Structure 1
Amino acid sequence: MSLTPQWLDELRTRVSLSGLIGRSVRVQKAGREFKACCPFHNEKTPSFTINDDKGFYHCFGCGAHGDAIRWMTEHQGLPFMDAVKELALLAGMDMPAPDPRAAQRAEAAKTLHDTMAAAQDFFARNLAGDAGGAARAYLATRGFPARIVEAFGFGFAPDSRGALKSALAQFGTPQLVEAGLLIAVDGREPYDRFRGRLMLPIHDTRGRVIAFGGRILTAEKTDAPKYLNSPDTPLFDKGRTLYNLHRAAPPARASGRMVVVEGYMDVVALAAAGIAEAVAPLGTALTEDQIERLWQVVPCPVLCFDGDAAGQRAARRAVTRALPLLKPGHSLSIVTLPTGMDPDDVVKAQGPAAMEALLTQGLSLIEALWVAERDAGPLTTPEDKAGLKARLIEATETIQHPDIRALYRRDLLDRFGALAFPARDRGQPPARTAAPRRGTKGPNGRWLPPEPPLPPENLTQMQKVGQVLLTLRPLLAAVLMGLIADPRLIVRHGEQMARIGASDLTQGGLLDSLLELGDSHGGHGDAPGLESADLVTRLVERGLVLPTIDDLGGMPYDFIARGDPAGIAESIEIIVELPLVELALADANARTQHELTEQSFAEQQRLVQRKLALRARLGQMGRARAAL
């Protein structure tokens, strides 16, 4: 059947979202909206809002967001088409006319599901029968209780090339091959894929068997893989499937934690230890699709890797895969187990409490990235350190979200700076040419760097901001000249001047030095402090180039350069605010392109008016003062 956007919009309009959610969550009226305790994470104070008019829900705690269809797929665990059908029934709408080809595919899938269910019954019977003695003995050595063996559906595949083929003959050989249960080789009769193995069924999110995993039991078969999974089939895509997700999702949403381990036997071991919210990939490194599926359940899954070299490689690959996908409120926590141990080893040697403790000690994604790159090789030479910096920058450039990319880059480069340029010994004086950093005052009274504005998503807008900064260079030159002419004004305007992004105007070193010298030589308000001539001497000693009238570019800012207090105050306000308004306007323009609302349009217009007012002040200031 063909579901057009128009039909889906009509479906969303006809369904009362608050009523739909209220069938499984207690909701309360709050003005024009409804509130509830978020069903996607454990909370005591309601932060989950439902807006019937706009047709969406949103949690301000965990970031869960969606419409009626997404509620049915993420909270109720239904496939998309089943969710649509149930909503259509509630709304009294007829489903669109079926597509014959889609119907054929659905019928084929149904038959494959029947085949996989029959195979699971076959394996389970064999585990309980005489042939399953070796498999039962292996389970006993693992210490899995009977309830776990039954819950996870363990089975046994006889060491025979045709046992399953004969038992499921009613489905036909082609069907068994398509389901991945038989191996078809040209010129040979198809034969059983799983032989002499302990079997585990793999389920979809609805709990239907879609594939199998098998562990070898016969030690003599040294050439056979220890673990064997079903191949990709119409039901099973190993890159999109997470083992045990159908069982783990409900307790994970309740606890706010999802644990990802390396293999399905690790999942079973954790479940036996009382940790039910564990899943595993299936023979591959964690994929982008699997990460997205994890984020649909909890905002920060815990990836738990073995302490061997293979586990560390898996952790590194997971970090690399996750970086481009990062979005606000969603990340990963990385836990590394003691060397040579897997989750079952930890539980058996130290108990479930030790495993729980390890799961709370995970590294944040940025910390794991830093540690992995820092420890990737020696850092004894400048070339080694430069290589580390290059790798860090390369990693951050893969992050698609601009705000997260900027924040990661700054954090990692701060860490690199502390590593590559450690603080000097206390007995050694700092270099005189080292410019202080600006922004706010730290505990020692020195200016600290300002928080850099986050870049707008639109590159064209960023270029416009750069042009604004260039137009302000003559005005900043006049301000710097005025401060040198009257150093008392440095302290008076120090806090506001510290917000100037002067490094973008190529005059940051001079401004930094003015702030430091003005703050450290006794000038406070109108009280005597550093004299102009002395200030010039100190600046020249630092190798700084002082601005001249030529730097004003012919603009009528001479009164500012001579130290006019009112002109300097007004100029600093414009230099600080105009670039920030441009950045905010760039962001507002980007938002209105994606979602135009009354609030976003009003904010955009307010910023436009503020930008025009600042530019008008800039022009009027020069003309009015030049006439004095």
Structure 2
Amino acid sequence: MTLTPQWLDELRARVTLSAVIGRTTRLTKAGHEFKACCPFHNEKSPSFYVNDAKGFYHCFGCGVHGDVIRWMTDQRGLAFMDAVKELASEAGMEVPAPDPRAAAKAEQQAGLHDVLSAAQDFYRAQLDQPEGAKARAYLASRRFDAHTMERFGFGYAPGGRQALKAALKQFDEPMLIEAGLRIAVDDKEPYDRFRDRLTMPIHDARGRVIGFAARILDADKKDAPKYINSPDTPLFDKGRTLFNLHRAGPASRQSGRIVVVEGQMDCIALAAAGIAEAVAPMGTALTERQLEMLWRLVETPILCFDGDSAGQRAAMRAATRALPMLRPAHSLKIVRLPAGMDPDDLIKRDGVGALEKLLAQPIGLLDLIWEHERDAAPLTSPEDKAGLKARLMAHVETIADRDIQALYRRELTERFSAFAFPRREERAWTPGRKSAPPVPQRSAQQSRRLNHATGAGARDGLSAAILAGLLRYPEELRRHADALAHAPLGDPRFAALVDAVDGGEALETAGLHTILIERGLAPPTPDDYASLRFGFLIEGATPEVARTDLAQAIGLLVERPEVEMALAAATERYERELSDDSEREHRRLLKRKLEIDARVMQMAGATGDSLMKLAAQRMAD
């Protein structure tokens, strides 16, 4: 149907705004307006005003603003068309007739709602059957009470490939496939999507089932994903859906906050602990649409992601999505959980009070960006520090609001200056003062060989070789994701592959090639590492040997910049202290750096014995 601006203006003019709001909110006459305590946030004195003449409401406390249609969608939780129809009925207006295509789409969606509602009833009933014992045992291990289990509608999908179809025989096969409940592959018989899994219904803002999340119950199925969600359907769009929003939205108006966690189980655990205003994205990074949905509820949602490296990377991805969208008073706050813990772990160990304490002391978006980029790479040279400044300013340039951009630039520039140019204590020169031991000198041939395999100009070759190894053995990505994420590697292709692991992408060679290309990153070619003959790049190498060599190469790639950074600090410390301890530490690190260089040469097919002997000789000298 076509709702013209003129028709919508007529609808607003025919409906008295104060009468609609007054049904659920107590209004008091205040001159030509009405006032009340704001229904969108807690307050003791009225700051919410309704103006019938202008047709809008506004709260001077929280900034919420809208017309009568916005009131019906935000406060009542109705979809836009449902709000329009209800208001039109009250105003005695006829809603324009839909065109045939819109009518068919509406009918299809109504039918899919029936299918998903029936599927939820089936899964819920199966939880109480003998076959659902594993699912009940898992829920018992999570210590969810009966109220929580009933409220979130847990169910069980039987292991049979045709169980759901047999139970929902009143619906045609195409409708079951369209609803995302069945999978059709080429000319084979379709089969149930969710099998032998604990199920959780996903609802829209009106509380209607639009899809399912399902958790694996058999721990032996290591290759299967722990959680799977319904695919995108006419009802379910994972980028536009937040789990538990229909419950968290009303709760957030009372608490004044919304908490975003990583997964559905985290969300349920918080609700069971009394934190009802928690939502979760659908297994992906927060999207721009989801951020807008959050900002319609509160101005500064709190991200409370897991304390592991994947959780912190997810927080940073959300930050980079939010930066271009920032506007006055709207931002994000971030809570850092203890390492290796999710919200449920913390609640079980220390009680909900411990989590509440963290939620009360989040860091800001600017703090997150500063700390992330400061810790992303070694900062031992002017070039390193210039790189830090460039990364910070690159974030700033993405902010569309010019005032916010200017404030971020000023704050980050001041932090960078204080960090990069700290005040240093002046020390008088002492006659006879020693300097740090020199770096061992190599012959021209040795230098060329070492630079070829490990030098600054060839580090891209080593990185390219390892990238090629990861693409050849993509399952190794999951094993090494944390190490690669924490290492100060300059090649953005590593970050792209780690993001694929965090995002639950299928770890397949072709798919990873596509991910790199879609991000504007060229996959490595043999020309990039032609002179480096690592075992994991040799055709016909046994997978076990190749994976071992790849793990060793990654370990060296990750360790080398850390050793170099520590060596630079040790050199500076020795020059400052001139002590035996600092000299021993300097020599130890220098020896380790040369050992790493030699080992890389050996693995790359060069002869590293001479360099190893040279390193030992120089250390002895």
TM-score of the superposed pair, with normalisation by structure 2: 0.68
| Cross-structure match for 2:7 | 7
Q: Deviations over 1:333-378 (max 9, x none)?
A: 1011100100110011001111111111210111111111111112
1:122·1:167 contact (CA, 8 Å) conserved in 2?
Answer: yes
| Cross-structure match for 2:570 | none
| Cross-structure match for 2:136 | 136
Q: CA deviation at 1:97?
A: 2.2
| Cross-structure match for 1:288 | 288
Q: CA deviation at 1:411?
A: 1.3
Q: CA deviation at 1:427?
A: 10
| Cross-structure match for 2:214 | 214
| Cross-structure match for 1:497 | none
| Cross-structure match for 1:256 | 256
| Cross-structure match for 1:357 | 357
Question: Would you say 1:409 and 2:409 are equivalent positions?
Answer: yes
Query: Where in structure 1 do 4 or more consecutive aligned residues deviate above 3 Å?
Result: 423-428
Q: Distance in 1 between matches of 2:97 and 2:112?
A: 24
Alpha-carbon RMSD: 1.4
Q: Distance in 1 between matches of 2:3 and 2:82?
A: 13
Residue identity opposite 1:62 in structure 2: C
1:63·1:329 contact (CA, 8 Å) conserved in 2?
Answer: no
Query: Structure 1 257/426 Cα, relative in aligned 2: closer, same or farther at 3 Å?
Result: farther
Equivalent positions of 1:461-472 (< 5 A) are: none
Equivalent positions of 1:118-137 (< 5 A) are: 118-137=118-137
Q: Deviations over 1:130-152 (max 9, x none)?
A: 11111101111111111111100
Equivalent positions of 1:21-170 (< 5 A) are: 21-170=21-170
Q: CA deviation at 1:425?
A: 4.8
| Secondary structure in structure 2 of the residue aligned to 1:198 | strand
Q: Deviations over 1:113-159 (max 9, x none)?
A: 00000000000000011111111011111111111111000000011
Q: Distance in 2 between matches of 1:241 and 1:111?
A: 20
1:62·1:329 contact (CA, 8 Å) conserved in 2?
Answer: no
Residue identity opposite 1:322 in structure 2: A
| Secondary structure in structure 1 of the residue aligned to 2:110 | helix
Equivalent positions of 1:155-554 (< 5 A) are: 155-423=155-423, 425=425
Q: CA deviation at 1:176?
A: 0.2
Residue identity opposite 2:368 in structure 1: A
Residue identity opposite 2:100 in structure 1: P
Structure 1 unaligned segments of length 5 or more: list them.
Answer: 429-628
Residue identity opposite 1:294 in structure 2: L
Q: CA deviation at 1:91?
A: 1.8
Q: Distance in 2 between matches of 1:26 and 1:364?
A: 36
Residue identity opposite 2:170 in structure 1: Q
| Secondary structure in structure 2 of the residue aligned to 1:156 | strand
Identical counterparts, % of pairs: 68
Q: Distance in 2 between matches of 1:384 and 1:427?
A: 26
Query: Structure 1 416/130 Cα, relative in aligned 2: closer, same or farther at 3 Å?
Result: same
Residue identity opposite 1:295 in structure 2: W
Q: CA deviation at 1:332?
A: 0.9
Residue identity opposite 2:117 in structure 1: A
Q: Deviations over 1:20-52 (max 9, x none)?
A: 211111122222222221111111122222222
1:32·1:51 contact (CA, 8 Å) conserved in 2?
Answer: yes
Q: Deviations over 1:295-328 (max 9, x none)?
A: 1111111100111110011010010011111111
| Secondary structure in structure 1 of the residue aligned to 2:311 | helix
| Secondary structure in structure 1 of the residue aligned to 2:34 | strand
Q: Distance in 2 between matches of 1:373 and 1:22?
A: 50
Q: CA deviation at 1:58?
A: 1.6
Q: CA deviation at 1:190?
A: 0.3
Q: Distance in 1 between matches of 2:343 and 2:384?
A: 35
Q: CA deviation at 1:3?
A: 0.5
Residue identity opposite 1:339 in structure 2: A
Q: Distance in 1 between matches of 2:420 and 2:42?
A: 42
| Secondary structure in structure 1 of the residue aligned to 2:316 | helix
Residue identity opposite 1:192 in structure 2: D
Q: Distance in 1 between matches of 2:100 and 2:15?
A: 28
Q: Deviations over 1:576-619 (max 9, x none)?
A: xxxxxxxxxxxxxxxxxxxxxxxxxxxxxxxxxxxxxxxxxxxx
| Secondary structure in structure 2 of the residue aligned to 1:29 | strand
Q: Deviations over 1:143-195 (max 9, x none)?
A: 11111111000000011100001111111110000000000000200000000
TM-score of the superposed pair, with normalisation by structure 1: 0.67
Query: Structure 1 130/384 Cα, relative in aligned 2: closer, same or farther at 3 Å?
Result: same
Q: CA deviation at 1:265?
A: 0.4
Residue identity opposite 1:321 in structure 2: R
Q: Distance in 1 between matches of 2:391 and 2:275?
A: 37
Residue identity opposite 1:181 in structure 2: L
| Cross-structure match for 2:534 | none
Equivalent positions of 1:590-605 (< 5 A) are: none
Query: Structure 1 424/15 Cα, relative in aligned 2: closer, same or farther at 3 Å?
Result: farther
Residue identity opposite 2:307 in structure 1: G
Structure 2 unaligned segments of length 5 or more: list them.
Answer: 429-621
Q: Distance in 2 between matches of 1:381 and 1:175?
A: 62
Residue identity opposite 1:19 in structure 2: A
Q: Distance in 2 between matches of 1:53 and 1:373?
A: 51
| Secondary structure in structure 2 of the residue aligned to 1:239 | helix
Q: Please identify the structure whose Cα radius of gyration is greater.
A: 1
Residue identity opposite 1:121 in structure 2: D
Query: Structure 1 427/219 Cα, relative in aligned 2: closer, same or farther at 3 Å?
Result: closer
Residue identity opposite 2:123 in structure 1: F
1:199·1:212 contact (CA, 8 Å) conserved in 2?
Answer: yes
Q: Distance in 2 between matches of 1:426 and 1:17?
A: 71
| Secondary structure in structure 2 of the residue aligned to 1:349 | helix
Residue identity opposite 1:378 in structure 2: P
Q: Distance in 2 between matches of 1:243 and 1:2?
A: 31
Q: Distance in 1 between matches of 2:398 and 2:92?
A: 46
| Secondary structure in structure 2 of the residue aligned to 1:171 | coil
Residue identity opposite 2:101 in structure 1: R
